[in-house]
Amino acid sequence: MILLDLKLKSLTLNDLTAILELDQACFGGLWTMDGYQRELNSPNSELLGLFSPVYGSKLLGMGCFWAILEEAHITILAIHPQYHRQGLGQALLYSLLQTASDRGLDRATLEVRASNLAAISLYEKFGFKIAGRRRGYYQDNGEDAKVLWLSDLQSPQFAETLENWHTTVVYGLRKSFWQMR
């Protein structure tokens, strides 16, 4: 079986055009160039990208979190629509949580559209629990957001959980003929 390579890396200002193209494909232009530049320049932000050298180093997915005190506030998890359901979201979420743990953060949180059942399922698979609801959170249509939390990123049990997730991620990628490099 031939596996296609994926490369995970921290995004930089050199990736700004690809970031904006992916944002447009996934969200219709959620953030501006200035917004992404601020994120890329902030020491409190982590922006990770999944690239495929096979497709001319195309940015297939990105994730972002803000480090606020001991919390990772996940602000973006986006996979290009052409690459949905191939394990890339799992790989990116795993990488964000690994990075948050490596930074010494203790908790992770995020908001997700109440109607986005696929995303909610992914987050719950990774141990997130629904902690609340933000009414009318999304400005484009007034949809509610569910607030999800994951605690104890610094516990010994979480290190073991990360190892288990790594196995799950590798297997999920292989099923879709991907491998992480």
Is residue 94 part of the annotated active site? The answer reads no
Nearest to 134 by CA among 145, 148, 119: 145
Say whether 111 is catalytic: yes
Q: What is the dihedral of CA 14, 73, 181, 161, to 10 degrees?
A: 170
- Residues, the chain, total? 181
Single out the catalytic residue among 39, 46, 71, 111.
111
What DSSP string describes 139-165? TTT---EEEEEE--TTSHHHHHHHHHH
DSSP state of 121: H
Alpha-carbon distance of 24 to 181, in angstroms, equals 26
| Catalytic positions | 111, 123
